Amino acid sequence: MNTRVIRIDPLVPDAAALIPAAQALRRGEIVAFPTETVYGLGAVWRDPEAVREIFRVKGRPQDNPLIVHEASIGRMRQYFRSWDSVAECLASAFCPGPFTLIMEHKENIDSPVTAGLATIGVRIPAHPVAQMLIELCGEGLAAPSANLSGRPSPTSGADALEDLDGKVPYIIDAGPCEVGVESTIISWVDGKLELLRPGGISAEEILKALHSQGLNIPLITEDAGRAADHEPPRAPGMKYRHYAPQARVHILRGETKEAKLEQLSRSAAEGILGSRPAFYLSEAIREKAMWILEGQNVAAFELITFTTEQAHKAAAQGLFAAFRAFDRSGCSDIWAEEQSLQQLGAAYMNRLRKASAQQHESLRNDY
């Protein structure tokens, strides 16, 4: 298959340029497209063969449900068995945006997107190109991230092409994604509000929106985003090793800059950084980290930094791009700096833990 890249200005998207991709989707084909979080691999949600093609191309486990991307809250409501004040509050506050709502679906919904579950996840992307594509299709698009399963999510058209060249007819390239990590997933089922995946909307923002409407509902976060080996995942990102580069991923931990630098110095002295290490660090510790590495005669290493101002946001935005860049450089190990769990820091740390899950017996979800 010859993959055609459609380059489009995200600020002034040209509907005519998107028509071939929309037509392909309506024919039952799959297309990669940009969102504000990461690039998605889309199919018309009610076309079962097209949705199964997403699973096949990605190599995605069949029990891992997909998220439907819709154009409006009105269309979003049509998927769910009921719609109450909690759903209305959350949708009004965070849609369009990096927010996915999971609730029980209507009985007449029969699509592989649910992976056989009684629930379905729906979101409204904030990206103008995604919105225009959905409108041109006239249907919601089932869309996981546009990468091979387990690989880092793509945050640019070039990243999507790296994984999907020759596998899809169209990749719509609108440049880098603004958020850089996937949507926050909230489940509202049987009177329980659960954070199944941290993302572009923080737990603090969720609770603030609810409290502003007088809805004092507790948000369950502890262990909500984990699935036991014998249980099907209720949402993407819960069960399988995700977001992982080919290199081994390590977390450079510490509550202070000094503690992180101490771990780096100790690891360098013990010779455990790897044969060709890479580092994803804030500008705040860059200079001293370089001094430590050079002092320990770590000759061959790669370094990508993120800004100290709003470090949790900058770290999350650039993480997947850094993973892919390090892989292209042939790095053996990636050492990524820990961030606090505030705001986007929770999503950043969740992705780091998922990426490093292969090296650890257990995976804690401390968000």
pLDDT digits (tens, 9 = 90+) for 104-163: 999 999 999 999 999 999 999 999 999 999 999 999 999 999 999 889 999 999 999 999
CA distance 199 to 178: 13
Give the pLDDT confidence score for residue 235 in this predicted structure. 84
Tokens for 146, please give them.
């546009």
User: Does the pLDDT value for residue 96 go beyond 50?
Assistant: yes
Domain ranges of the chain: 4-220, 248-359
Tokens for 235, please give them.
């949402």
Tokens for 271, please give them.
């010779």
Percentage of residues of the chain with pLDDT beyond 70: 94
Longest CA–CA separation in the chain, Å: 65
Tokens for 356, please give them.
């490093």
Mean pLDDT score, 311-337 = 96
Q: How confident is the model at residue 351 (pLDDT cuts 50, 70, 90)?
A: very high
Predicted model pTM: 0.92
CA distance 256 to 267: 17
Q: Provide Rg for the chain, Cα atoms.
A: 20
CA distance 279 to 190: 44
Q: Which CATH number fits domain 4-220: 3.30.465.10, 2.40.30.170, 3.90.870.10, 3.40.190.10?
A: 3.90.870.10
Give the pLDDT confidence score for residue 280 in this predicted structure. 98
Tokens for 138, please give them.
């006239």
* Count of Cβ atoms closer than 10 Å to residue 218 Cβ: 10
pLDDT digits (tens, 9 = 90+) for 211-269: 999 999 999 987 655 655 567 788 887 765 667 899 999 999 999 999 999 999 999 99
Answer whether 197's CB lies under 8 Å from 237's CB.
yes
Give the pLDDT confidence score for residue 309 in this predicted structure. 85
* Count of Cβ atoms closer than 10 Å to residue 112 Cβ: 21
Give the pLDDT confidence score for residue 307 in this predicted structure. 94
Q: How confident is the model at residue 328 (pLDDT cuts 50, 70, 90)?
A: very high
Give the pLDDT confidence score for residue 296 in this predicted structure. 86
Q: Whole-number mean pLDDT of the chain?
A: 92
**What's the order of all strands across the beta sheet hosting 248-252?**
248-252, 333-337, 277-282, 302-306
User: Does the pLDDT value for residue 183 go beyond 90?
Assistant: yes
Give the pLDDT confidence score for residue 26 in this predicted structure. 98
User: Does the pLDDT value for residue 332 go beyond 80?
Assistant: yes
Give the pLDDT confidence score for residue 150 in this predicted structure. 82
Q: Which fold has domain 248-359?
A: Rossmann fold (3.40.50)
CA distance 96 to 225: 23
CA distance 221 to 218: 9
CA distance 22 to 123: 19
